[in-house]
Amino acid sequence: MSLPDQLTVARVAAVPVVVLLFAWDFPNHAYWATILFCLAMATDQADGRLARRRGTSSALGKLLDPVADKVLVLAALVMLIGEGVAPAWMVALIVVREILISGLR
């Protein structure tokens, strides 16, 4: 497994941790969740840059990279409903849009 693929898998693995940090009530939990979310999203740019620089691409990366991005972002949006930051109807609209766009691909 190449380094870009490992970064993508790490982004997928970060999803439950981000959700847990948002849900778990301890001092500054939202800050820790946000920091981890930002670090996970930074791996998206890093794995793309590495894959382009090395001229490597894999079937796993092509399949998992867009899924990892969507799952991480949508999980964070759903958790923001509970925090009172985003209204549920807006998140539902975004989720439906992402499902439809991904389904058309």
Dihedral angle over CA of 33, 34, 35, 40, nearest 10: 90
pLDDT band at residue 56, thresholds of 50, 70 and 90? confident
Count Cα atoms within 13 angstroms, Cβ side, for 52.
6
Task: State the Cα–Cα distance between residues 19 and 39, nearest whole angstrom.
Answer: 14
Q: For the chain, give the percent of residues with pLDDT over 70.
A: 99
- Residue-wise pLDDT for 58-104, tens only, equals 888 888 888 888 899 999 999 889 878 889 999 999 989 988 887 77
Mean pLDDT of the chain: 89
Taking phi over 0 as left and psi of -120 to 50 as alpha, with beta for the rest, 55 belongs to left
